[in-house]
Amino acid sequence: MELLKVQDLDVYYGGIHALKQVSFTINAGEIVTLIGANGAGKSTTLRAVSGLVPTSSGSVEFKGVDITNMPAHKIAGLKLTHVPEGRRVFANLSVEVNLQLGAYLRKDKAQVQEDLERVYTLFPRLAERRRQLAGSLSGGEQQMLAMGRGLMANPELMLLDEPSMGLAPLLVREIFRVIEEINRSGTTILLVEQNAKMALNVANRAYVLENGAVKLSGTAAELLQDERVRKAYLGG
Amino acid sequence: MQWQLLAAQLINGIALGSTYALIALGYTMVYGIIRLINFAHGDIFMLGAYFGLIAISSYNLSLIPAMIISMCLAALVGITLDRIAYRPLRQSPRITVLITAIGASLLIQSLAQLIFGADYRSFPAKAIPIKIIRLGSIIITNRQIIIFGTAILLMILLHLIVNYTKLGKAMRAVSMDKEAAQLMGINVDRVIAFTFAVGSALAAAAGILVGILYNSVDPYMGTLPGLKAFVAAVLGGIGIIPGAVFGGFFMGIAENMVVAFGSSTYRDAVAFAVLILVLLIKPSGLLGKRVQEKV
């Protein structure tokens, strides 16, 4: 079943043609990754899907509903959650309040409480620091908080932008382990990563973006073997 | 006798300062959320005083219902102001919005003069009969106690709203990162409107309290207290809620100390002396953290 369908998306960003006729689909249950160089349009694609940047043409459909240019706060209410680049946690609020804000639109209080426990089980470090200000956490802990906050919305589709950026190798593996675990428990994932190798190892399928356009696509296994991908993104 | 004068002026200062604090809270909350110095805020304070005056003198309401009605009406004015004057300029440079705020201030003053007349008006004496309370040789009036008590009560209420309600938490989230707040499903425009409503309601309460303190209401009464409360907010660190409370009390007390030890001629000058000193010595305010410019 197609969960997300992006068709011929064009985005202009301050005079720059940032996305050119980008099309891709994500099926329910998959992990799909977008790989590409800096400035290829990966983040812009996520931002266009979650409503943070306006699109000039093309369409975005989520669960069969047209969400093109819908306000970001409404898209969030459809259980499409965007965990943005650079964590963007609320620095002067406690870890727990950050997580509560992730569930801002939910009315099912008992279920929210259960999900909070689930997030604390997934990230025991957050449980230890639940009363601390988010700004006092380390980079890795902030990434866990950003993902935990995203999970609190109980999303069907989670957009993850550069979750491993700036983290030590041990933490990167930890983050990828959690991504697989989140996916196993039923959340579909669209992952943007500079670390193409790690991303292709967890993903089912991938799209390669170059200069704002989709250059290649295929299963992760195919792309891992692809000569062009190996040269450009996997270090030979 | 010197210390009694000091005590009397200290009490005056605390009463006046609590009204400055209420006004400063609105400045600081709006600044915290949309980085705008809302120069029309002092005029909403003035409208609040009129709403209260009319409710008490024309509709014979007592103080508490008059204050509640005035706060609700002012909240509506604040929301309307944001909706028609500021919201269309959300993506504009800050200077554009600032100039709009000055324009809105002048517009509200002129409209008030048109509707309510330019004359000074006063609360009927029976609204709050003056009672004098003696503590040894110190004299306190019941009005001072009402002013201080009401202000503290409203501040506690604000503290509870900001820290413990869902909208309050959303407000703090929006003030830290609007985009991330949207991704949580927070309707940023609605949270901004709520901030204007709360700030305006507090200003309206302060308007009635100042109207009672000086027993005088006129269309231009918002200008000077508005400026002083703005200085109070800057003094405490603009955008920081406890800073506004601290700054308000500081300004009220400082003003009355100048009266006690210097001359009442300089009571208004003290605000601007404080502003200049703060901007020279600690521009982020006394409770503010140094903001590191990100390169």
pLDDT above 60: residue A132: yes
Nearest CA-CA distance, residue B166 and chain A, Å: 8
Evaluate whether A98 touches B180 at the Cβ level (below 8 Å). Answer: no
The per-residue pLDDT for B125 is 77
Q: Is B119 exposed, middle or buried (0-12, 13-18, 19+ CB in 10 A)?
A: exposed
DSSP B85: I
Domains of chain B with bracketed CATH: 2-123+152-281 (1.10.3470)
* DSSP three-state, residue B37: coil
Bridge partners, residue A191, by sequence:
A33, A160
Query: Six-digit token pair at B169?
Result: 């938490």
A contact set with B (CB within 8 A): 50-52, 71-74, 76-77, 81-82, 84, 88-93, 97, 100-102, 104-105, 149, 153
Q: DSSP of B221-282, one letter per residue?
A: TTHHHHHHHHHHHHHH-TT-HHHHHHHHHHHHHHHHHHHHHS-GGGTTHHHHHHHHHHHHH-
B172 with A100: Cβ contact below 8 A? no
Query: Could you write out the DSSP letters of every residue in B127-184?
Result: TS---EEEETTEEEEHHHHHHHHHHHHHHHHHHHHHHHSHHHHHHHHHHH-HHHHHHT
- Would the CA dihedral through B146, B151, B156, B161 be positive or negative? positive
A115 and A103 in contact (C-beta within 8 Å)? Answer: yes
Contact of B186 with chain A, judged by CB distance below 8 Å, is answered with yes
Best mutation target, B164, B172, B184, to test chain A (most A CBs within 10 A)? B184
3-class DSSP assignment, residue B198: helix
pLDDT number for residue A66? 97
**Partner-chain contact B176 A100, CB within 8 Å:** no
A159-210 tens-digit pLDDT: 999 999 999 999 999 999 999 999 999 999 999 998 899 999 999 999 999 9
> Among all residues of chain A, which has the CA nearest to that of B162?
A93
* Superfamily (CATH H level) for A2-79+156-233: P-loop containing nucleotide triphosphate hydrolases (3.40.50.300)
Of A84, A101, A149, nearest to B169 by CB-CB distance is: A101
Q: Where are the domains of chain A?
A: 2-79+156-233, 91-154
**Cβ contacts of A227 within 8 Å, gap of 6 or more:** none
Report d(CA B38, CA B200) in Å as an integer: 11
pLDDT, residue B290, reads: 57
pLDDT value, residue A233? 87
B166 and A104: CB-CB below 8 Å? yes
Alpha carbons B207 and B49: distance in angstroms, whole number: 4
d(CA B266, CA B55): 35
Strand partners, A33: A191, A206
Residue B103's pLDDT is 97
Determine whether the interchain pair B183/A84 forms a contact, defined as Cβ–Cβ distance below 8 Å.
yes
Return the residue of A nearest to B166 by Cα.
A104
B240 CA: distance to closest CA in chain A (Å): 12
Structure tokens at A103: 């569930």
Residue A80 above 90 pLDDT? yes
- The Cα–Cα gap between B15 and B10 comes to 9
Whether residue B160 lies within 8 A of chain A, CB to CB, comes out as no
Compute the C-alpha angle A46/A51/A57, nearest 5°: 85
Q: Tell me the three-class secondary structure of A211-232, residue by residue.
A: CCEEEEEEEHHHHHHCHHHHHH
User: Nearest-5° angle of CA B276, CA B228, CA B92?
Assistant: 80
Nearest CA in chain B to A73: B185
Find the CB nearest B173 among A52, A72, A101: A101
Q: What is the pLDDT of residue B294?
A: 38
Is B173's CB within 8 Å of A84's CB? no
pLDDT, position B163 = 93
- pLDDT one-digit tens code per residue, A21-68: 999 999 999 999 999 998 899 999 999 999 999 999 999 999 999 999
pLDDT tens for the 295 residues of chain B, in order: 577 888 888 999 999 999 999 999 999 999 999 999 999 999 999 999 999 999 999 999 999 999 999 999 999 999 999 999 999 999 999 999 999 999 999 999 999 999 999 999 998 877 788 888 888 888 899 999 999 999 999 999 999 999 999 999 999 999 999 999 999 999 999 999 999 999 999 999 999 999 988 889 999 999 999 999 999 999 999 988 999 999 999 999 999 999 888 888 888 898 889 899 988 998 888 887 755 443 3
Characterize the bridge pairing of strands A80-83 and A65-66. unpaired
How high is the pLDDT of residue A13? 84
Q: Considering only the beta carbons, identify the residue of A52, A77, A92 that sits closest to B185.
A: A77
- Reported as a single tens digit per residue, the pLDDT across B88-104 is 999 999 999 999 999 99
Q: Do the chains contact at B183 and A77, CB–CB below 8 Å?
A: no
> For strand B132-135 and strand B138-141, is the pairing parallel, antiparallel, or unpaired?
antiparallel
